[in-house]
Amino acid sequence: MKGIRLKLMLHLYNWSSKVYANIFKWNKKAWGISKADFMTYPIGSIGHNLGLFYESKGFDVMPKLENHDVFHILTETGTEIQDEIAMQFLLLGNGKISLYLMAMIFIGGTLFPEYFGYYKKHFQKGRSLQSFHHLEFKEILHWQLTELQIALYSKNIQLNLNR
């Protein structure tokens, strides 16, 4: 039974991410940065870590959805289907609201209720972090990933994106 649910959710996720990029991100420009280009960023930077992420997962850059991949490395959230659903719960906890997010939470939560505790943990993690879901990371790819993570987890550090 889990195999059928997984196939259905993977099909919906793959289809919907393309639709999301084309319809909901119609006015957003792709970064135009290749996997090889990401690897030229300084070691430890967001950009370099994004290159390592693509390389280790065997993923290609999905134009207009690059920010989502930064969310994965920033929050250390995996890429299995339950992790993708958990990421939506984390973003909801962080204050993001969108039709796509709500659909993923509803469908994913319905198809995989056995992960409810995992989803709840990610929702709470999103609430505990400084708001980041709205940030455009392209301009700060040279920043050290760990520095940004420390800032996100600390309510005492003001995020200044004008470095």
pLDDT of the residue at 86: 98
Asked if residue 149 is part of any domain, the answer here is: yes
The number of folded domains in the chain is 1
Pick out the chain residues at pLDDT < 70: 1-2, 6, 8-27, 159-163
pLDDT of the residue at 163: 42
DSSP per-residue codes, 62-86: -TT-HHHHHHHHHHT---SHHHHHH
pLDDT of the residue at 83: 96
Asked if residue 104 is part of any domain, the answer here is: yes
In 3D, which of 90, 85, 68 has the Cα closest to residue 137? 68
